Amino acid sequence: MITFELPAVREAHEPPEARGPSRDAVRLMVSGKDTGAVTHHDFTELPDLLQPGDLLVVNDSATLPAAVPLDRLTVHFSTEREDGLWLVELRRRTGDTTVPYGGGEPGEWLPMPGGATLRLLGRETPRLWRATLDRDVPGYLREHGKPIRYSYVSRDWPLAAYQTVFGVRPGSAEMPSAGRPFSPEIVTGLVARGVLIATITLHTGVASPEKDEPPYAERFSVPAQTARLVNQAEGRVVAVGTTVVRALESAVAPGGRRVRAARGWTSKVVTPQEGVRVVDGLITGLHEPRSSHLLMLTAIAGEELLARSYEEAIENAYLWHEFGDVHMIIPDQTSSI
């Protein structure tokens, strides 16, 4: 895995539309897998950087207002299990932000806003609890929740700031942020260019900003139409976000290279050793040091190109995190897959 230090000044503290005219007013770094060239663009140039017949696969999961503040704690609702229980993270409030909270006991009841009660049943991981709320959780979150926000974001922003133009299926605790810079104008430009767009659904759980943890099981769905478009693609298959890579690679038959319609849970971690089987390129944000996502990026780009790209991103003052700039790793020529 590549190593680097991220200067604090490179963190995006607010949405791009608070810094400029619109959500697509971000920068785009392009890493060419064939030539090894790293070039720098405005994100609005994306339609011109793709070719007719290329296929973009996007995540249509929408973001929940998954954080509920209490007096001293904040509860992050992460994932609904098949049995109806929820995985939640408890975080201690410190001023205007939160930090991990190691307390809590099995069987403990937490009074929640609006007269609701959350019961902790047991730990699922060192960070996440199995819990039950005496209300319908999505409806409760709509009334009492707000988007999850970490310390590098300067203040609360409305839920609309954490949605993508593709998000139509509520379920993600945190925004599938690679799709955030896409505006209706860019989508129109892509379609006019002859770029195809297909969808998957993967509902993200809560991340771990303080420590590196591998992804845990998340619910996903790959529709039959998307599987067919990927398998029949004449151009490059470009995933918009690491969630899309996880979903597509989880839908490939063992030892194969064809995507099947699939739904269920995936804990897949894409590594350089395993590689990728159906994805040619990736549009994603810039990831933190030691993030497990860097393993996936290395599998797609190769370590040398990825390391050089991140060096250039820092040297050229790119911004990190969900409100930051964008990185596209792509073959320079149409794939033969």
Average pLDDT, the chain: 94
The Cα-based distances of 184 to 166, 230, 310 in angstroms read 10, 23, 29
Confidence of residue 337 (pLDDT cuts 50, 70, 90): very low
Give the separation between CA 56 and CA 77, rounded to whole angstroms.
Answer: 30
- Is 75 found in the same domain as 47? no
Q: Which of 81-85, 186-190, 196-200, 209-213 has the lowest mean pLDDT?
A: 209-213
Residue 244 inside a domain? The answer is: yes
- 3-class DSSP state of 22: coil
- Is 238 found in the same domain as 199? yes
One DSSP character per residue, 33-73 reads: TTT--EEEEEGGGHHHHS-TT-EEEEE-EEEP--EEE-SSE
Residue corresponding to tokens 């991140």: 310
- Is 302 found in the same domain as 172? yes
- Is 48 found in the same domain as 77? no
Residues forming a β-bridge with 149 = none
278 contacts 249 by C-beta, under 8 angstroms: yes
Nearest to 207 by CA among 184, 229, 176, 238: 176
pLDDT above 70 covers a percentage of the chain that reads 96
Average pLDDT in the 13-18 region?
96
> In this structure, are strands 61-63 and 169-172 parallel, antiparallel, or unpaired?
parallel
Say if residue 145's pLDDT is above 90: yes
One DSSP character per residue, 259-292 reads: B--EEEEE-----TTT--SS--EEEE-PPPTT-T
Out of 144, 174, 203, pick the residue that ends a domain: 144
Give the separation between CA 264 and CA 182, rounded to whole angstroms.
Answer: 27
Residue corresponding to tokens 């810094």: 19
- Is 138 found in the same domain as 192? no
Residues forming a β-bridge with 169 = 61
Q: Which of 1-10, 126-135, 236-245 has the lowest mean pLDDT?
A: 1-10
Instruction: Please give the span between the terminal C-alpha atoms of the chain, in angstroms, as a whole number.
Output: 26
- Is 245 found in the same domain as 268? yes
Average pLDDT in the 148-153 region?
91
Confidence of residue 334 (pLDDT cuts 50, 70, 90): low
Say what the pLDDT of residue 53 is: 98
The Cα-based distances of 135 to 119, 130, 235 in angstroms read 11, 15, 47
pLDDT above 90 covers a percentage of the chain that reads 87
Number of domains in the chain: 2
Reported as a single tens digit per residue, the pLDDT across 208-237 is 655 556 668 999 999 999 999 999 999 999
One DSSP character per residue, 131-157 reads: EEESS-HHHHHHHH-B----TTS-S--
Reported as a single tens digit per residue, the pLDDT across 58-109 is 999 999 999 999 999 999 999 999 999 999 999 999 888 888 999 999 999 9
Say if residue 207's pLDDT is above 90: no
Average pLDDT in the 127-132 region?
96
Range of the domain at 103: 67-144
Reported as a single tens digit per residue, the pLDDT across 280-293 is 999 999 999 988 89
